[in-house]
Amino acid sequence: MPEYIYLIHPLREGFFEQPTPLEDAIMEAHSQYLKRATEAGTVVLAGPCLDKTFGIAVFHAGNQAIAQEFMFNDPAVKENVMMAELHPLHISFKG
C-alpha cells in the first residue's frame, strides 16, 4: 500500500508559545486521532519537530483521495488550527 506524508504548520503566530484553551483541546483531539490511526496500523510515525516549526505524519493510504481524506479529517486541520501539506512518499529504509 502506498505511503504518504503530511506536514502541518500552525496558522497563528505564537501558537506554540501561547495556545488558547480551544487550540489545546483541538491539539489533544489531533493527538488522539493519530494515536488511534497508529494503533490501527495506518500511521507509520508521527510527531512534532523539537524546534516547534511543524509536525509530520507518515501513513499508509490506498490512493491520493484516501490520503487527502485522512489528512483533512485530522482535527488540527479540520478545525483550521494547522495548515497541511500532503506528499506521496516511498519509504526506502525503515529501522
Q: Which three cell numbers stand for residue 47?
A: 510527531
Any domain includes 54: yes
- pTM strictly above 0.85: yes
Instruction: Say what the pLDDT of residue 67 is.
Output: 98
Domain holding 38, by residue range, is 3-89
Query: Quick check: is 94 in a domain?
Result: no
- Sign of the four-CA dihedral 81, 51, 31, 4: positive
Is 60 within the bounds of a domain?
A: yes
Q: Which CATH number characterizes residue 81's domain?
A: 3.30.70.1060
Q: Which whole-number Å values give the CA distances from 85 to 1, 21, 72, in the listed order? A: 20, 25, 10
Q: What per-residue confidence (pLDDT) applies to 1?
A: 83
Q: In which element (H, E) is residue 34 found? A: helix 21-39
Domain count, the chain: 1
Low-confidence ranges of the chain (pLDDT < 50): none
CA distance linking residue 84 with residue 78, whole number of Å: 10
